[in-house]
Amino acid sequence: MSRTRAFAALCCLALAPCAAAGAASDDWNAPAAAASSTTSMSTLSGNDYPPPESPISRDYLKLIWSDAVETATEPARWDRDDWRNAALVGGGLLVGMAVLDKPIKDAAQRSRSASTDRVFRDVQKFGTKQYGLPVLLGFYGYGALADDSNAKAVALDGFSASVISALVTSTIKGVVGRARPNSGLGPHHFAPLQGDYSFPSGHATGAFAFASVIATHYDSVWVDIGAYGIAGLVGYARIEQNAHWTSDVVAGALIGGLIGHHLVEFNRRLRAEHSAFAPTLGTDGQQLLLTWQF
């Protein structure tokens, strides 16, 4: 799972205060740790998927809390390769800031027109709750009507991933304090804790969080192309609209994508572990049977 940890150092530091309290109080974390060595379930779909929680339940609140604690404590489980990968990604972003951000910004602005502005103003909304929440509600509605556990889990995991990744991004934005390209201050202007919020892109974070959750739940190259294609257009829209530098968009994409993918896998293990201890109601043809598996 080292690929999902590559950039998450910056992400997880933003949630670190949650870790100590969550580890002590959340009884969902013990099953997750016990199940960490289980076989990947990434190919499950429909009713083969462990039944998800009700969105209006204490169990779902526990799940979101467990997701936050998992994100915050992930660096403690990194090995040398994970830290090396994080350093390489961070170094790449620094190079992008120094060398590529301004030329890409200038090229994007030269190609702007009234028609492209209209298109990309709408496209960028896929990285916000204005479009994202209806998409998740659509997945849950379909899952409820078709009795499709996987579709319902997409909605629940997508909401959790979007909330957590947005919290991470907002925290980093405030700390870094990078000026936006439309400020005219250039790509290297930083005023930490002073109210500038360019790095990383929140729209890219949201779009790639949604995309990675959908793509991880469905083992299809066409789903991958569709989900990540739309997310990529959201990222470009933020550059075209002169609202973000390219490195802002790349950082947001990594935060949202890696958190979304990792939390889907984490929640699968949680649900599989808990469903193994859930009671089953059935019949042998003569009597009603209530059974548990241990």
Give me the average pLDDT of each 10-residue run along the chain (294 residues): 42 39 40 41 54 87 92 88 89 87 93 90 88 91 92 95 94 92 89 87 95 93 94 94 94 95 92 63 53 44
Q: Kindly state the tokens that stand for 178.
A: 């990078």
The answer to whether the bond into 200 is cis (omega within 30° of 0) is yes
Domain ranges of the chain: 2-291
Q: What is the pTM of this model?
A: 0.78
User: So what's the pLDDT on residue 284?
Assistant: 52
Contact 210, 260 (CB under 8 A): yes
> Which pLDDT value is given to residue 293?
45
Q: What is the pLDDT of residue 252?
A: 95
Q: Which pLDDT does position 286 carry in this prediction?
A: 57
Longest dimension (CA), the chain: 78
Cα 110 from chain centroid?
Answer: 32
pLDDT at 150: 92
Distance CA 11, CA 165 (A): 8
Q: Which residues are registered as beta bridge partners of 280?
A: 291
- Please say whether the beta carbons of 253 and 202 come within 8 A: no
pLDDT the model gives residue 153: 94
pLDDT at 96: 84
3-state secondary structure of 281: strand
DSSP string over 103-125: HHHHHHHHT--HHHHHHHHHHGG
DSSP state of 178: B
Pick from 276, 267, 46, 42: nearest CA to 147: 46
| Rounded CA separation 7/36 (Å) | 21
